[in-house]
Amino acid sequence: MGRIVRDTLRFFRDNARWLAAGFLLTFFSSFGQTFFIGLSGNDLRAAFGLSGGAFGALYMVATLASASTLPWLGRTLDLMPGWKVARFTLPALAAACVLVVLAPNVAVLGLALYLLRLFGQGMMTEIAHTETGRWFIARRGRAMALVVQGQPAGSAVLPILAVLVNGAAGSWHAAWLWAVGLLLGVALPLLLWLMRVGRVPEAIEVSARGRPMARDWSRAEAVRDPLLYLLLAGLLAPPFIGTTIFFHQGYLTELRGYAPLAFAAAFPVMSVATVVSGFVCGHLIDRHGALGLLPFVLAPLALASLLVAVVVPVWGIHAFMLLLGISNGFTGTLMGALWPEVYGLANLGGIRSIILSAIVLSTAIGPGITGALIDAGIGLPVQMLGMTAWCGLASLLLALAARRIRAREAAWRAGVAARA
């Protein structure tokens, strides 16, 4: 572990400009993430006379609409440099924050939520992962492990600051206007300065993998590729299961008689596990490639799901959150590094936007499906047994997909060599 830490620090020192850009993009994506929007949830409901169900439905519609738009907007990353995409993404996110404050009716509030989800959760993350995937080759795993820490950092810092700002101003509007100031006064100029200098992978990085990348697939080819859906069958499990548990944590707390703070007390465990496992995963990706980790990436989540299903004492929550943190660290880092290995770089923005859209969709429908099953008498513990089985089956599918991807890449390289 000590060697991993030393290598990571040296890597950061040598590539601070681009790693900082990726980190800041994921950090400031927080203004479009559920945890930040939820801070104003009760105030928005009161302002517009919405019930909990009505606000949840509005939020789901806005999220689904952003997921349907993202594949088209994400293509801009294949048509122009990342800093130019950031140049319109950050002002659009800031405008969405203003719209939350000024919304005169529910329709405009829905539009504000749609823009927050599209440009915050969607495009800010998309720019960070796509550009990092292009900037780094041999140490892409380590780069992703550093970049993805922006979101947990944002979730740790920004809600506290937002509460303090609101308390000082005496209004929930203050945090959103403060967000606008941060986005336009700090994030936009700093990111444009950092990103204007692109990083060209060095020759030693290219030779470390024997070739720069997989062959460059078009977006249409990727959509027709059966292996994409085999991969998604497994890689959509973490966002679906994680969102389901967090959404229904109140139900689970009541069902098992836990103290109200049972889940809250375990969040630091998850955060630490996410950070540590992310760095470990990045190191493993650089040694073995993202494809080499695919068959094993869902193991922590499978065990976490099983714990929720069968362990009743409150210590099970801490164990679950530990394993979920490990799962989040591994899948978050892997998802950034995997797609360039599979589909190349030329159309990475458009392809990644489709994948991110599927992830957003899974987080939108997960609570609805599982909630309907609870209403039908199928409790969450029973459902978690099904999700454990999903992870087990998906691990086999991911192993199969990894083997087939390697085989077709070997055939492609052999064809290139024969034509040369």
CB-based contacts of 72, cutoff 8 Å, min separation 6: 353
Sign of the CA dihedral with 395 first, then 121, 44, and 109 last: negative
| Between residues 288 and 52, the one the model is more confident about | 288
**Contact (CB, 8 A) for 241 and 301:** yes
Residue extents of the structural domains in the chain: 12-210, 213-413
Q: What is the pLDDT of residue 133?
A: 84
Reply yes or no on domain 213-413 having CATH 3.40.50.300.
Answer: no
Residue 126 in tokens: 């998309």
Nearest to 147 by CA among 25, 234, 330, 258: 25
With tokens 């990436």, the residue in question is: 297
How far apart are alpha carbons 293 and 364 in whole angstroms?
27
With tokens 């000082």, the residue in question is: 168
Residue-wise pLDDT for 386-416, tens only, equals 999 999 999 999 999 999 999 998 888 887 7
**Contact (CB, 8 A) for 148 and 333:** yes
Residue-wise pLDDT for 99-113, tens only, equals 999 999 999 999 999
Q: For residue 107, with 0-12 CB atoms within 10 Å meaning exposed, 13-18 middle and 19 or more buried, which class applies?
A: exposed
Residue-wise pLDDT for 158-193, tens only, equals 888 988 999 999 899 999 999 999 999 999 999 999
Q: Supply φ then ψ for residue 320, to 5 degrees.
A: -60, -45
Residue 20: other Cβ atoms inside 10 A: 19
The whole-number average pLDDT for the span 12-20 is: 87
How far apart are alpha carbons 314 and 257 in whole angstroms?
9
Residue 175: other Cβ atoms inside 10 A: 25
Question: What is the pLDDT confidence band of residue 202, given thresholds at 50, 70 and 90?
Answer: low
Q: What is the pLDDT of residue 211?
A: 43
Residue-wise pLDDT for 231-275, tens only, equals 999 999 998 998 888 777 777 888 888 887 777 778 788 888 888
With tokens 């929930």, the residue in question is: 172
**Contact (CB, 8 A) for 239 and 370:** no
Q: What is the pLDDT of residue 420?
A: 64
How far apart are alpha carbons 225 and 318 in whole angstroms?
40
How far apart are alpha carbons 394 and 385 in whole angstroms?
14
Residue-wise pLDDT for 352-361, tens only, equals 888 888 888 8
Residue-wise pLDDT for 61-103, tens only, equals 898 899 889 888 988 999 999 999 999 999 999 999 999 999 9
Q: Which CATH class is domain 12-210?
A: mainly alpha
Per-residue exposure over 112-150, b if at least 16 CB sit within 10 Å of its own CB, e if not: bbbbbbbbbbbbbbbbbbbbbbbbbbbbbbbbbbbbbbb
Alpha carbon of 86 to those of 77, 194, 402: distances in Å?
10, 11, 33
Alpha carbon of 53 to those of 50, 60, 62, 66, 361: distances in Å?
8, 10, 14, 20, 19
Question: What is the pLDDT confidence band of residue 3, given thresholds at 50, 70 and 90?
Answer: low
Strand runs labelled E in 74-147: none
Q: What is the pLDDT of residue 145?
A: 83
DSSP 211-253: SSSS----HHHHHH-HHHHHHHHHHTHHHHHHHHHHHTHHHHH
Comparing 47-51, 197-201, 284-288, which segment has the lowest mean pLDDT? 197-201
Residue 153 in tokens: 């950092």
Q: For residue 257, with 0-12 CB atoms within 10 Å meaning exposed, 13-18 middle and 19 or more buried, which class applies?
A: exposed
Nearest to 117 by CA among 228, 50, 38: 38
The whole-number average pLDDT for the span 307-328 is: 90
Question: What is the pLDDT confidence band of residue 17, given thresholds at 50, 70 and 90?
Answer: very high
Strand runs labelled E in 80-211: none
The whole-number average pLDDT for the span 22-31 is: 95
Mean pLDDT of the chain: 87
Question: What is the pLDDT confidence band of residue 346, given thresholds at 50, 70 and 90?
Answer: confident
Domain 12-210 and domain 213-413 have a common topology: yes
Residue-wise pLDDT for 204-216, tens only, equals 455 444 444 568 8
Residue-wise pLDDT for 140-149, tens only, equals 888 888 898 8
How far apart are alpha carbons 319 and 311 in whole angstroms?
10
Percent of the chain with pLDDT over 70: 94
Query: Whole-prediction pTM value?
Result: 0.78
Percent of the chain with pLDDT over 90: 41
